[in-house]
Amino acid sequence: MSEQSVLTVSDDLPLAVARPVHSGKVRSVYFLRPEDSRRLIQERGYPVAPHSDLAVMVISDRLSAFDCLWHSESLAGVPGKGAALNAIAAHWFESFGQAQLAPHHLLEMPHPMVWIVRQAKPLMIEAIARRYLTGSLWRAYAQGERVIGGVTLPDGLKQYQRFSELLFTPSTKGVVRGLRDVPETDDAPLSPAALRSHYQAFGLQSEAQLDACVTALRSGFECIERSLAQHGELLVDTKFEFGIAPTLHGGEELIYMDEVGTPDSSRIWRQDDWQRGQPKEHSKEQFREALMAWVEDRDMLLDPARMTERSAFAKANPVPDTFFEDLSHTYAAQAERILGSALPAMERPRERILDILSERFGLVS
């Protein structure tokens, strides 16, 4: 793919918005004006409350790992990455709807790199579900930790072992202040007791809503897990994010937000590799592993206290092109397995996105 097919800047589109664009690590969110939200709800027939606020989410091909953005020798982003993530997550959202799980925020995908979503009040929780002992969980376990995320693990577990029950290890999304038993850092681990004691501080309105969040996590994980198993794949762990949004008939409801079940937010293994005791990553984790083998000082990538040093290193040191090329192939292949068809080619995505949002949605200012 050419550099023209890669979208790395996604927060500079001239759209009419109600407040400043939120530019995340991978996605940019354009919060629509109330009048445009009402108009689109009516024109497009979106099944949401008439007073709902909408947003346009534009995904990029940027690559974030260890909380830093990386570039290769000749590429600023991973070709096809954004379109693959959007397509996979949209597929899972549709599957959730068919299985009558909790609702989600996605309303329409007018371009492979664009979502129209309903806005919601995000919970300050990253809800992580784990089926196998690997990654940061294994590193902590191997160093002797047995209470992880408020869950006590027994002695004698092996790397890559499957848990008898799905493990829920939540962490904070952003910094939550003023709670005695919660560290004031981003991505701080949360024990079940702390989460239940301080549910209101994380945006939940009741303990029943917290229980609904856990149920949605488990049912969403199992829905994806069953589908991947049909392709001989294992969902190792994944992250969910939730929000509170108005319902069609008054009141509020818990909904899935952000993305679900993608190679960016999940680890995915082939079952036959795992059975041989040599699982290979089919997710962004393969880039993390390649990066840890490539740098001289692996601790720099893992130590939260060295974030400034890590960020400077990522800006100054392009990784080999093969890292991005291999990851691009992984994302495309994973999307094709899940969707049953190849992704469309991305050429001049910024121009095409602007054309669509102007001509079909009337959102370009």
| CB-CB neighbours of 208 under 10 Å | 10
Q: Which of 275, 302, 323 is the last residue of a domain?
A: 275
What pLDDT is stored for residue 4 in this prediction? 67
In total, how many domains does the chain have? Answer: 2
- Model pLDDT, residue 129: 94
Confidence of residue 245 (pLDDT cuts 50, 70, 90): very high
Residues 100 and 138 in one domain: no
Is the CB of residue 67 less than 8 Å from the CB of residue 307? yes
- Residue 140's CATH number: 3.30.470.20
Q: What is the DSSP letter of 223?
A: H
Res 176 pLDDT > 60: yes
Shared domain for 265 and 148, answered yes or no, is yes
pLDDT confidence of 365, banded at 50, 70, 90?
confident
Domain that holds residue 221: 121-275
Q: Is there a domain that residue 291 lies in?
A: no
The verdict on residue 293 lying in a domain is no
Determine the average pLDDT of the residues in 58-76. 95
pLDDT in tens, 312-334: 999 999 999 999 999 999 999 99
What's residue 135's pLDDT? 87
Number of H helices, E strands in the chain: 11, 16
The number of residues in the chain equals: 365
Q: Quote the mean pLDDT of the chain.
A: 93
Please compute the mean of the pLDDT values over residues 280-304 and round it to a whole number.
93
Q: What are the tens digits of pLDDT across the range 90-111?
A: 999 999 999 999 999 999 999 9
194 and 238 belong to one structural domain: yes
Residues in CB range of 236: below 8 A, 6 or more apart: 130, 131, 132, 134, 266, 267, 268, 269, 279
Where residue 341 sits, what CATH number does that domain have?
A: 3.30.200.20
In a domain, 298, yes or no: no
Same domain, 162 and 180: yes
Task: Say if residue 148's pLDDT is above 90.
Answer: no
Domain boundary among 246, 275, 304: 275
Percentage of the residues of the chain whose pLDDT score is greater than 90: 82
Question: Can you give the pLDDT at residue 247?
Answer: 92
More confident of the two residues 185 and 32? 32
96-100: which pairs have CB atoms within 8 A and are 24 or more residues apart?
96/220, 96/223, 96/256, 96/260, 99/219, 99/223
**Average pLDDT of the segment spanning 145-154:** 83
Which comes out higher in pLDDT, residue 271 or 184?
A: 271
